[in-house]
Structure 1
Amino acid sequence: MKRYIIGVTGASGSILAKVLLRYLAGTKAELHIIATDMGRKVFEYETGIPWTAFISTIKQKEAEIFDYENQDMFARVASGSFQVEAMMIVPCSMATAAKIAVGTGGNLLCRAADVCLKEKTRLVISPREAPLSSIHLKNLLTLSECGAVILPPVPMFYANSDNYDEMVYGIAGRILKSAGIDNDLYTKWNSGKAN
């Protein structure tokens, strides 16, 4: 069974985490979810769904799901001996990106990302901020130079869609693809409309 770590921070864009987690919950995978305190609060604010209720719902699907407290530094995802296929941080706040870029850790989400970088495991970061300051850009460049994939939630305008859901699914699909997960959530160039 493939293992994935999904990080959710307090940046705006919780709909992406919701779509991505719902999709992965329907697969035969092991999902290790780490949400920051603000990530949980923003998720509830933006989606109207309490975090614990959402986790309970997706636990009823096919995937095996583990939900960690961000302060639990004894969790197995904090160790390099715990191997995963990829980690995705969706959405990723600039504060979290900065902590990972400078290696300060301090919480489970940052530690798990640090482990992915040192173990050369695929790490996909979807930063949610606009405009980006020079500090943000430097931190994202550092992460990219360390091997992370930086995938801002930019819609695929070539899909010619004015449907908000299609745009969100398209971004989630590209994040999954960058993590090495085949999916049909996004419109490929010249292939017609997404599902």
Structure 2
Amino acid sequence: MDARQRLVVGISGASGAVYGIRSLELARAAGIETHLVVSRAALLTLHQELGLQKDDLETKADIVHPVQDIGASIASGSFRTMGMLIAPCSVRTMSEIASGVTSSLMSRAADVVLKERRRLVLMVRETPLHLGHLRTMTALTEMGAAIMPPVPAFYAHPGSLDEMVTHSSARALDLFGIDTDAIQRWGGLKDALTENAP
């Protein structure tokens, strides 16, 4: 498998497991091989928010790695990938990655992506943010990660929550150069008001 067609996807315990699921679906539709790692807390969130079980989630990925398997392929830099998306990313997971002290395959795989200078995208799900959160995000950005909270794009006039989730997930995949054709892209203002703008 070409490393340019292989993506690691992590789902942590923050609210918004649906972002990880939709990202897996979109990546598969785009012909990308996905390697999934899910935290224990994420399984609780998955059931609470979506009524799904572990087996329901695992059918969405090509390869599933147990979160405690630190000997998995994605724990090594010699296993080439296009990078890793954690969707959603909890503050705990974000902080563990920033510290470099990895205690699970989730944070180890993210650490590998950073050390190999590959793309790491964190869909951080927390609000409001205190200074410690912001400093951690700054540190990760300086290390090469992209912090991408799933913020709705109202210019696309989403008609449902599902459309908002799809848009955010597709935009996250954009950061890896994965074109899903699943979003309405901004084409500039096309309103009569712009004609009269100074």
Task: Assess same fold via TM > 0.5.
Answer: yes
Which one of the candidate residues 27, 37, 42 is aligned to 1:24? 27
1:189 maps to 2:186: yes
SS of residue matched to 2:127: coil
Which one of the candidate residues 42, 47, 50 is aligned to 1:47? 50
Match runs of 1:115-194 below 5 Å = 115-190=112-187
In 1, Cα distance between equivalents of 2:30 and 2:156: 26
Do 2:70 and 2:104's aligned partners in 1 also have CA atoms closer than 8 Å?
A: yes
> Which amino acid in 1 is paired with 2:114?
L
**1:9 to partner: Cα distance:** 0.2
Which one of the candidate residues 6, 10, 24 is aligned to 1:7? 10
Q: Which has the larger radius of gyration?
A: 2
In 2, Cα distance between equivalents of 1:187 and 1:93: 28
Do 1:88 and 1:179's aligned partners in 2 also have CA atoms closer than 8 Å?
A: no
Q: Which runs of 5+ in 2 are unaligned?
A: 190-198
Moved over 4 A (4+): none
Do 1:124 and 1:175's aligned partners in 2 also have CA atoms closer than 8 Å?
A: yes
Q: Which runs of 5+ in 1 are unaligned?
A: 60-64
Q: Normalized against structure 2, the TM-score is what? A: 0.89
- RMSD of the alignment, in Å? 1.6
